[in-house]
Amino acid sequence: MTIMRQHVVLALLAAMLLVGCGSGTITNGEATLVPNETSPAFLDRVADEPTVTFNDAARGMVMLLDGDDTFDTFEQRVDYLKSRSVISPDWNLDAFDSINRGQLAHMAYVASEMNGGVWLTVAGPSQRYCLREMQYRGVMGEGTLLASVSGFEYVSTLGRAAMYMATGEVPDAAGDTPEH
């Protein structure tokens, strides 16, 4: 095998390890949420939670993208978010597990269509580099990749991502909105 071919094979193997092979599973896919819950009611409920479940996180991302969540089950939300690349196909998801900061950063980064740094541009979004980008831009505060997300942090991240989607800018830490 030529040296060039060896490099290509190694690069492909590395990419498969970094990105995954799309073999994630969904557990408790039939889980439902409060039917016909409006965005304000959803945000009020979630903001007070000590941790955010993946089912609630998926609903919030659907609302961020579409303004409303018309899906009945967790599996429907996940399938939709996977079709939009907001959720990676290799994640193992359980509706009742807590979302971690890396997953939230990845979802918010992709949903808001941010343009990242060199590594994000070259390799594509990963939880680690999305979190670093979201922290750098002030969308998310400091913290570790695998830490659970509180309701307050989740709602704050959604709000900042929504502002970025509307204006192309993130409000500063004092809550000032970008001028337009």
- CB contact at 8 A, 61 and 83: no
* β-bridge mates for residue 94, sequence order: 27
Token pair belonging to 137: 């831009």
Looking at this protein, which amino acid is placed at residue 43?
A: L
Residue with tokens 């913290």: 143
CB 102 within 8 A of CB 157: no
Local structure of residue 179 (DSSP, 8 states):
P
Query: Is the pLDDT reported for residue 179 higher than 70?
Result: no
| Residue 152 near residue 139 (C-beta atoms within 8 A) | no
With respect to residue 13, please indicate whether it lies within any of the assigned structural domains.
no
Report the pLDDT value the prediction gives residue 101, as an integer from 0 to 100: 97
The answer to the question of residue 135 being in a domain is: no
Structural element, H or E, at residue 12? helix 3-19
Range of the structural domain that residue 89 is part of: 25-99+106-114+149-167
- In-domain check, residue 128: no
Give bridge partners of residue 148 from the DSSP assignment. 100
**Averaged pLDDT of the chain:** 83
54 belongs to a structural domain: yes
Which pLDDT value is given to residue 10? Answer: 38
**Does the residue 10 lie in any domain?**
no
- The reply to whether 64 falls in a domain is yes
Asked if the structure places residue 29 within a domain, the reply is: yes
27 sits in which H/E element: strand 26-27
**What are the pLDDT digits (tens) for 154-174?**
999 999 999 999 998 887 755
In a domain, 119, yes or no: no
Tally the domains of the chain.
1
**82: its two tokens:** 């996977």
Interatomic CA distance for residues 95 and 21, integer angstroms: 21
CB-count burial class (<10 Å; 0-12, 13-18, 19+) for 161: buried
Q: Which residue has the higher pLDDT, 25 or 45?
A: 45
User: Residue 57: which of 87, 84, 29 has the closest Cα?
Assistant: 87
Element (H, E) at 54: helix 54-66
